[in-house]
Structure 1
Amino acid sequence: LNGIPTKFTFIVKLYEVRSVWFDPKIVDIRLTHNIEYNTLKNEFNLFLPEQNNKKVKTKDFDDAKKLMADVVALKVCRLDKLKRGLHYQLRIKAELDKIELPFYLNYVLFFLSLWDFETDWYSVVFRY
Structure 2
Amino acid sequence: MPFILNRKIFFILLCLTSLLSDPVFLSGPVFGRPARLTDMSVTNSQDHILVYLNVRDAFTEKIQKIIISGVPTTFSFFITLDEIRTIWINKTLSEVTLTHTIKYNTLKNVFTIQRSWKDEKPLTVRTLEEARKIMTEIDAFKIIPISQLDKGSRYRVRAKAKLSKMTLPFYLHYILIMASKWEFETDWHTIDFDY
Q: Please report the TM-score for the alignment, with normalisation by the length of structure 2.
A: 0.61
Q: Deviations over 1:13-69 (max 9, x none)?
A: 000011222100000111111100000011100012323234211111111011001
Give every structure 1 segment of 4 or more consecutive aligned residues whose post-TM-superposition deviation is greater than 3 Å: 102-110
Instruction: State whether residues 50 and 71 of structure 1, in contact with CA within 8 Å, keep that contact through their aligned partners in structure 2.
Output: no
The total of aligned residue pairs comes to 128
**Where does residue 132 of structure 2 map in the other structure?**
65
Amino acid at match of 1:112: A
Inter-partner Cα distance in structure 1 for 2:96 and 2:157: 11
Q: Which moved more, 1:2-11 or 1:112-121?
A: 112-121
Between Structure 1 and Structure 2, which shows a larger proportion of helix residues? Answer: 2
Q: More deviation in 10-19 or 97-106?
A: 97-106
Instruction: Say if 2:138 is the partner of 1:42.
Output: no
Q: In structure 1, what is the Cα distance between the partners aligned to 2:168 and 2:152?
A: 50
Larger Rg: 2
1:81 is displaced (CA, Å) by 0.4
Residue number in structure 2 paired with 1:100: 167
Gap change, CA 1:35 and 1:116, over 3 Å in 2 = same
CA distance in 1 between counterparts of 2:167 and 2:118 reads 26
Q: Does 2:129 match 1:83?
A: no
Consecutive unaligned residues of structure 1, counting only runs of 5 or more, are none
Calculate the TM-score normalised by the size of structure 1.
Answer: 0.90
**Where in structure 2 are the equivalents of 1:18-37 lying within 5 Å?**
18-37=85-104
Distance 1:18 1:109, change over 3 A: closer
Unaligned residue ranges in structure 2 (runs of 5+) = 1-67
Alpha-carbon RMSD across the aligned residues, in angstroms, is 1.7
CA distance in 2 between counterparts of 1:101 and 1:18 reads 45
